[in-house]
């Protein structure tokens, strides 16, 4: 019987492991909402599910999957997350919070909110209520939306440095922090996934910079997308500046963490929507691919780490370029989007790239189907994707807060039943 880490590494090297490897919560794009996690823990662990679940990623309100649950569910991965959250504070100084749906959890001390007359929650960068709020959770909601705080644009004063002021060199204290967490993660015997800060070029979730008190530059989502066409020279200079800092930090991380890490998530930039890519292959090759090639080549030359990219939506037309750029792993494999049929993906690209995800539809089947629907889809996806290796089971993006617990249990039952007898 393989260890958790051996199982993942075997699959990443396109060989069939003893069973399909499973991820739950190793990154902020393979996670689970704290409400769904709280119910799952209670159902699986029973009396051992003591205490409140901690929210380690407050932007999406993702819960921290603990070792007891990983053991109980047979999860093969564990994550090392960025030091600072999307709202600019660290995960420490925990305090209690009750969510709209009644879930009792814990949030970091920097999680500071005010309530609007409509009942919405406003959250503040670095926990500083004297700054403008940078996120809003609608009354009754499950997660925050970024608040756009871009001042009026003056074309004559646009400065790419304003869009890169958040990219800073890691300090010795930062490196010690990452090293300690990587050591703790590796001690579990699972595959360790590092979420690398500062290497996601043009990630639209990061453009509004909800962790900064007074962000400058182009910070409006629509304006940034328009800039890819209208201001490509500006975008390229932003990327060049980001690349300089990202390269130094990646070099330091590789030197410091070395063989403690197995997989690095380099980018979460989305290139697809439901119907197809929202940029052309030519634009990807011109604006994004050179940086992806640079970072992938550096990682592969200086470490044994496998590189992961996250892109939602219909990215079939871009997958050959992702492969050429050097990515080892594609997540989340949104099979419900156009041209993302799992059989086609496995047949055409399964020998060249690892599919980390695609295990079950989190937009429809998992939250709204019956347990039988979930079980059937999970068994089918495992059968399609796992042949010959090159597959790590994960849901299509994060598990949402309103997902029925019986559906989550059906998902893990299907995973278990897919194991060789």
Find the DSSP H helices in 231-308. 232-257, 281-283, 289-302
Does residue 328 carry a pLDDT above 90? yes
- Kindly report which listed range (147-156, 298-307, 343-352, 396-405) carries the lowest average pLDDT score: 147-156
User: How does residue 304 score in pLDDT terms, banded at 50, 70 and 90?
Assistant: very high
Which residues, at least 6 apart from 106, have a Cβ–Cβ distance to it below 8 Å? 52, 53, 54, 55, 94, 95, 96, 97
CA distance 1 to 359: 23
Does residue 396 carry a pLDDT above 70? yes
Residue ranges of domains in the chain, CATH in brackets: 4-93+153-417 (3.20.20.210)
CB–CB of 249/169 below 8 Å?
yes
For Cα atoms 87, 64, 84, give the angle at the middle one, nearest 5 degrees: 25
Residue 421, pLDDT score: 64
CA distance 39 to 405: 6
Residue 305, pLDDT score: 98
Does residue 201 carry a pLDDT above 80? yes
Does residue 151 carry a pLDDT above 90? no
Backbone angles phi, psi at 26, to 5 degrees: -80, -15
Q: Mean pLDDT across the chain, nearest whole number?
A: 97
Strands 391-392 and 354-356: parallel
CB–CB of 209/136 below 8 Å?
no
Residue 420, pLDDT score: 80
Which residues, at least 6 apart from 202, have a Cβ–Cβ distance to it below 8 Å? 224, 228, 235, 239, 269, 287, 288
Residue 419, pLDDT score: 85
Residue 133, pLDDT score: 98
Residue 87, pLDDT score: 98
Q: Residue 105 is encoded by which pair of tokens?
A: 């959890």
């Amino acid at each position: 019987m393989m260890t958790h880490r051996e199982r993942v590494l075997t699959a990443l090297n396109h060989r069939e492991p003893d069973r399909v490897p499973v991820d739950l919560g190793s990154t902020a794009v393979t996670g689970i909402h704290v409400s769904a996690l709280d119910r799952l823990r209670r159902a699986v662990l029973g009396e051992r599910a003591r205490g409140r679940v901690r929210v380690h990623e407050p932007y999406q309100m993702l819960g921290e999957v603990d070792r007891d649950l990983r053991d109980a569910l047979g999860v093969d991965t564990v994550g090392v997350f960025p030091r600072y959250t999307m709202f600019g504070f660290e995960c420490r100084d925990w305090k209690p919070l009750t969510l709209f749906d009644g879930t009792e959890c814990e949030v970091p001390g920097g999680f500071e909110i005010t309530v609007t007359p409509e009942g919405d929650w406003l959250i503040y960068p670095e926990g500083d209520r004297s700054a403008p709020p940078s996120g809003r959770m609608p009354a009754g909601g499950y997660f925050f939306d970024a608040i756009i705080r871009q001042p009026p644009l003056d074309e004559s004063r646009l400065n790419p440095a304003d869009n890169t002021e958040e990219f800073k060199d890691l300090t010795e204290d930062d490196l010690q922090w990452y090293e300690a967490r990587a050591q703790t993660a590796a001690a579990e015997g699972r595959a360790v996934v590092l979420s690398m800060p500062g290497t996601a070029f043009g990630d639209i979730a990061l453009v509004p910079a909800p962790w900064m008190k007074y962000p400058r530059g182009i910070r409006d989502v629509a304006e940034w997308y328009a800039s890819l066409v209208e201001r490509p020279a500006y975008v390229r200079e932003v990327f060049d500046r980001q690349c300089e800092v990202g390269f130094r930090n990646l070099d330091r991380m590789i030197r410091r963490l070395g063989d403690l890490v197995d997989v690095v998530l380099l980018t979460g930039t989305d290139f697809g929507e439901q119907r197809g890519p929202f940029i052309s292959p030519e634009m990807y090759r011109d604006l994004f691919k050179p940086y992806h090639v640079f970072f992938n080549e550096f990682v592969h030359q200086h470490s044994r780490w496998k590189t992961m990219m996250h892109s939602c939506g219909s990215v079939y037309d871009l997958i050959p370029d992702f492969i050429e750029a050097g990515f080892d792993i594609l997540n989340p494999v949104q099979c419900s989007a156009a041209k993302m049929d799992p059989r086609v993906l496995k047949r055409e690209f399964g020998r060249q790239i690892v599919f980390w995800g695609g295990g079950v539809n989190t937009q429809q089947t998992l939250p709204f189907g019956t347990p039988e629907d979930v079980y059937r889809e999970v068994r089918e996806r495992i059968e399609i994707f796992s042949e010959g290796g090159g597959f790590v089971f994960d849901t299509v993006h994060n598990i949402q807060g309103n997902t029925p617990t019986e559906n989550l249990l059906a998902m893990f039952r299907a995973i278990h039943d897919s194991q060789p007898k």
